[in-house]
Amino acid sequence: MFFDKNAETLPRSELEALQLERLKKTAALCYEKSPLYKNKLDEAGFPPDKITSLADLKHIPFTVKEDFRDNYPFGMFTAPMREILRLHASSGTTGKPTVVGYTRKDLDTWSDCVARLIVAVGANGDDIAQVAFGYGLFTGALGLHYALEKIGASIIPISSGNTEKQVTLMKDFGTTVLVSTPSYALHIGETAKEMGVGNDLRLRLGLFGSEGCTAEMRGQIEKSLNLFATDNYGMSEVMGPGVSGECEYRRGLHLNEDHFLPEIIDPVTGETLPEGEKGELVLTTLTKEGLPVLRYRTRDITVLTYEKCECGRTHARMAKTTGRTDDMLKIRGVNVFPSQIDSVIMVIGEVAPHYEIVASREGNHDTLEVRVELIDSSVLDSYAQLEGLRDKIRHNLRVVLGIDVKVSLVEPKSIARSAGKAKRVIDNRPK
Ligand code: DLL
């Protein structure tokens, strides 16, 4: 199903012509209205009038998260404040939040972009959608909210948290679509089971995103909530949700390429990589007015394919991200991505899908501990059973990671649940 079939199935030559025209416009807007971009482009000796093809993109300098922080709060905006209708912000682990602003047209484009993605997985006007993302400065809740409104769904703007109430309303209101982070969906599923209402729910579709979700974790969510789980991706700096999302075939996430121009670069050298190679995703906005970005380094690692999808969409697809360049833990010289650990834990039947990863330093030696929650605490009474389970997890982790990891099995319910993005990594090593 399509929200905007024409745009979503544009032949590639027409799409590229449109992208080039929009790229020129966006670069000119940045150059004219933003001292930051004027300086960047002048320093690179590449003012916007030099752009003649999409290949010229590589001459444009990158934009990074620090640019937002350095220009806090509104220094990156290219529209006057009276034209900015909405502000959102995302707080990182350090420093000032990144602040983003939207004009009326930006808000309209945003809800169109998200609407495309949710219609692509079958959401429609008959749905009752429970938005369990946190409403507020985070782009997730309002991003999905206005798109659901646009397609005519009935929205329950419950926000995140208060999980038992989530389950009660889900049952009483006959919620058919759940919108949340995948980790919160797992927690909702667990709570529904404890409340004994698992079989009374009418959920059919999960619109998840905002954090990684391995295939194994998706399997867990689908089993516990009995729904079709789909993934959508985005970031505040570029728009919020609505950058890319799966269609019903779930073979990668379609990028709204008429609004965002994607590239894959080598995160170390910054060189653009050819199609099919894995690297860091870089995005340029093509239609934004309030806060356009040129070559924003997302830090997310993925791979793009331009092959036409079975659903008929022509827009490039990105693979589910395998992690962020800044998520990666370097343990004794080996690169470890939390998603690798996730894929092991999620398929071990005796443990819950809740875990923590703790990196420490002993002398000059980095160590990694994975704390996993048991489903049944009686295992703790049997040394042989406990050791057997610990050995199995340790072995499976060694196969995937290539290094030895300490595995600790902890009491059921002892690892904190998250109502938003799960924070699974604790890095105690000195900086
Ligand atoms: O998380 C926007 C969003 C909200 C997307 C709701 C989808 C649904 P930020 O808080 O700025 O924005 O975080 C952006 O989250 O660079 C990725 O590292 C990560 N991320 C977002 N979506 C996904 C996803 C929102 N589907 C950062 N899979 C991004 C993996 C994701 N990581």
How does pLDDT run across 353-400, given as a tens digit for each residue? 999 999 999 988 999 999 999 999 998 899 999 999 999 999 999 999
How far apart are alpha carbons 87 and 163 in whole angstroms?
Answer: 28
For residue 405, the CA-to-ligand 1 centroid distance in Å is 28
**Does 214 contact ligand 1 (Cβ within 6 A)?**
no
| For the chain, the helix, strand and coil percentages under 3-state DSSP, each to the nearest 5 | 35, 25, 40
- Beta strand 205-209 with 228-235: parallel, antiparallel or unpaired? parallel
Q: How far is Cα 298 from Cα 68, in angstroms, rounded to an integer?
A: 13
Question: Structure tokens of 165?
Answer: 């109430």
Q: Given this model, what pLDDT does residue 92 score?
A: 66
Nearest C-alpha neighbor of 352 from the set 270, 403, 411: 411
Cα(322)–Cα(293) distance, rounded to whole angstroms?
Answer: 24
Q: What is the pLDDT along the chain (431 residues), one digit of tens a residue?
A: 999 999 999 999 999 999 999 999 999 999 999 999 999 999 999 999 999 999 999 999 999 999 999 999 999 999 999 999 999 998 765 678 899 999 999 999 999 999 999 999 999 999 999 999 999 999 999 999 999 999 999 999 999 999 999 999 999 999 999 999 999 999 999 999 999 998 899 999 999 999 999 999 999 999 999 999 999 999 999 999 999 999 999 999 999 999 999 999 999 999 999 999 999 999 999 999 999 999 999 999 999 999 989 999 999 999 999 889 888 999 998 999 999 999 999 999 999 999 999 999 998 899 999 999 999 999 889 999 999 999 999 999 999 999 999 999 999 999 999 999 999 999 999 98
Cβ neighbour number for residue 426 with a 10 Å cutoff: 12
**Is residue 49 a contact partner of residue 30, using CB atoms and an 8 Å limit?**
no
Element containing residue 31 per DSSP (H, E): helix 12-33
What does R_g of the chain's alpha carbons equal in angstroms? Answer: 22
C-alpha 281 – ligand 1 centre gap (Å): 13
Cα dihedral angle (117, 120, 123, 125), rounded to 10 degrees?
90
Contact 184, 153 (CB under 8 A): no
CA pair distance 352, 348, nearest whole angstrom: 8
Domains, in order of start, for the chain: 1-325 (3.40.50.12780), 329-427 (3.30.300.30)
Query: What number of other Cβ atoms are within 10 A of residue 228's Cβ?
Result: 15
133 CA to centre of ligand 1 in angstroms: 12
Atom of ligand 1 nearest to the CA of 253: 26
Identity at 43, one-letter amino acid code: E
Single-letter residue type at 56: D
Which helix (H) or strand (E) segment is 372 a member of? strand 365-374
Please tell me the distance between residue 415's alpha carbon and the centre of ligand 1 in angstroms: 23
Nearest residue (by CA) to ligand 1, atom 31, is 211
pTM over 0.85: yes
